[in-house]
Amino acid sequence: MSPLLPVLLFFWVYWPALGAWFQRDDFAWLSLTQRIGSGMSLTDALFAPMAQGTVRTISERLFFLVGRRLFDLNAVPFHAVVMATHVASLGLAVWLFTRLTGSRWVAVAAACVWTVHVCLYWPLTWVSAYNQVLCAAVLLGSTALYLRYTETGGRGLLGAVWTLFLLGFGVHELNVVFPVLALLVAPSAWRRALWFFAPSVAFYLLHNRWAPKSDAGIYAVALDHRLPGTFTEYWTLSLGLSGALLAVVSAVLLAGFWWRRDRAVGFGLGWFLVTLGPFLLVPNHVSDYYLFVPLLGLSLAVTALVCGVRFGWFLVVALVAFQGVQSHRLAVQVAADSDQAWTFLQALAEAGRRHPGKSLYVAGVSDALFWNSFYDRPFHLIGLNRVFLTPDNAAALAPVVGRAAYSDYSEPAAVVVRETDNHRAAIFEIRGEQMVNVTAAKTDLLRRSGAVLTSIAVASPGNAALLSGQWHEAENNYRWTGQRAAVRV
């Protein structure tokens, strides 16, 4: 079986990703270039804790800074880098699996099972999840190099292992588990693997001191009674089953793992448990894309186990076909959602050009469009700083527990009416792929609603007349004060 098969399968499933644009967290990382230009130091941009206290200098900071500098808002090169990295991972996986199983057929099949799993679609289509894709490549590369080193004893290989291992700390915190993976892949050389624990322990201690984890919210770190339940959730996502069928399949697999006890099955199951372990400590945020790296090991273990029984190959082919079709459909949907975000921003840019200096209020924003674009405020990327939902649109969106309040993305109806009456704002409504100016009609509707001002947004130009004392100029959606500042209500 050709080692190119997983690569061809990957491109067949994920080719729509090349046409996808940016969405969600992408906009925050794309803005780093502008934040550096407006006062943030390069050191802070590269090393200051961000995004739930993470410091992923290589896979997030440099990736977006260099990409924005070279390609601006063209997403194709970003996706091309993601896909090229995953192709490298597939090549490393086939080599490593072949060494562990002794069978090129099983190795290629395992790589195919991994790459089509539905939990991989989000990191392979969403640019901000590149940290997961690059982390897989780094851990695979370090493990493969270390195995080769233990077999040949080449000093150059050991240097390469150390280089890749240390660089991995700039990719993802999951890199700390590599010493355990080294023990799993070459248990007879355990003394050599012990040296890798020192950097991992040092990184863990320094990272917790420099960017301590939250003890509240969805990213709160906890080791408590929820651990078995969190593992069960990830196990359910990994197998794509639930209920009685999940229990039966789990029992069969566990019995098979115990019965076979061969090197590949043991390593694959160990890889899954070791790389999943850190994510079990975040019980409030169970996400399928966290399985990107762990599923690599489970795919090997299951494939090596299933291919050892009669008709096992038919089961593997059926699994790959079923998962591949599902992942392809999801990739198409992601591309469509991101295209909607691109169309929306283009329409906003045109509205901004026609109404320079004015605040823009938007109606007709769906839940999907809000979370894919509006939520992360991408407007500054196209030179707009004052874009809001209309009050009725904010009220119509479905509430999401633990996420931002929609009122933070809108202004009271009384403010909107005042702004439009003073010709400082325009109101648009999304209709299909068009944005229509509905300022007059929407203003009349808001005025008839009898809305009263219940809060004052001090950064709004419409409220400037209410302010006195030492107020500084508005910056985006906030305004600093001196020692004495007043608001007249």
Is residue 106 domain-resident? yes
Query: Do residues 402 and 476 share a domain?
Result: yes
Is residue 132 domain-resident? yes
The count of structural domains within the chain is 2
pLDDT at 462: 64
Q: How far apart are CA 284 and CA 250, in angstroms?
A: 24
442 to 5, 240, 362, 392, 410: CA distances (angstroms): 56, 47, 10, 10, 15
Among the residue ranges 143-152, 245-254, 357-366, 466-475, the one predicted with the least confidence is 466-475
Domain span holding position 411: 355-487
pLDDT at 329: 95
Is residue 338 domain-resident? no
Percent of the chain's residues with pLDDT above 70: 96
Q: In this model, does residue 310 exceed pLDDT 80?
A: no
Is residue 349 domain-resident? no
pLDDT at 111: 96
Query: Do residues 158 and 284 share a domain?
Result: yes
Query: Do residues 318 and 436 share a domain?
Result: no
Query: Do residues 301 and 370 share a domain?
Result: no
Q: In this model, does residue 199 exceed pLDDT 90?
A: yes
Query: Do residues 328 and 360 share a domain?
Result: no
Q: How far apart are CA 112 and CA 13, in angstroms?
A: 11
167-191 mean pLDDT: 94
Query: Do residues 33 and 172 share a domain?
Result: yes
222-229 mean pLDDT: 89
Q: In this model, does residue 1 exceed pLDDT 80?
A: no
Is residue 162 domain-resident? yes
Is residue 240 domain-resident? yes
Query: Do residues 312 and 434 share a domain?
Result: no
Query: Do residues 389 and 323 share a domain?
Result: no
Quote the mean pLDDT of the chain: 89
Q: Do 118 and 327 meet the contact criterion of CB atoms below 8 Å apart?
A: yes
Q: Do 234 and 280 meet the contact criterion of CB atoms below 8 Å apart?
A: yes
- Letter for the amino acid at 255? A
Residues 6+ apart with CB under 8 A from 181: 139, 142, 143, 270, 271, 274, 275
Is residue 389 domain-resident? yes
pLDDT at 165: 96
Main-chain dihedrals φ then ψ at residue 213, nearest 5 degrees? -75, 150
Percent of the chain's residues with pLDDT above 90: 53
Domain end call among 333, 368, 383: 333
Q: In this model, does residue 456 exceed pLDDT 80?
A: no
Query: Do residues 361 and 316 share a domain?
Result: no
Residue the block writes with tokens 């890199």 = 175
Q: How far apart are CA 128 and CA 468, in angstroms?
A: 42
Query: Do residues 411 and 307 share a domain?
Result: no
pLDDT at 448: 81
Q: Do 426 and 420 meet the contact criterion of CB atoms below 8 Å apart?
A: yes
Query: Do residues 327 and 385 share a domain?
Result: no
Which is nearest to 105 in space by CA: 33, 3, 243, 186?
Answer: 3
> Which DSSP helix (H) or strand (E) runs through 429?
strand 425-431
39, 41, 47, 49 alpha-carbon torsion, rounded to 10°: -20
pTM of the model: 0.87
72-90 mean pLDDT: 96
Is residue 248 domain-resident? yes
How is residue 351 written in tokens? 């509205």
DSSP 215: S
How is residue 348 written in tokens? 């906003």
Ranked by mean pLDDT, which of 180-184, 319-323, 382-386, 435-439 comes out on top?
180-184
Query: Do residues 134 and 270 share a domain?
Result: yes
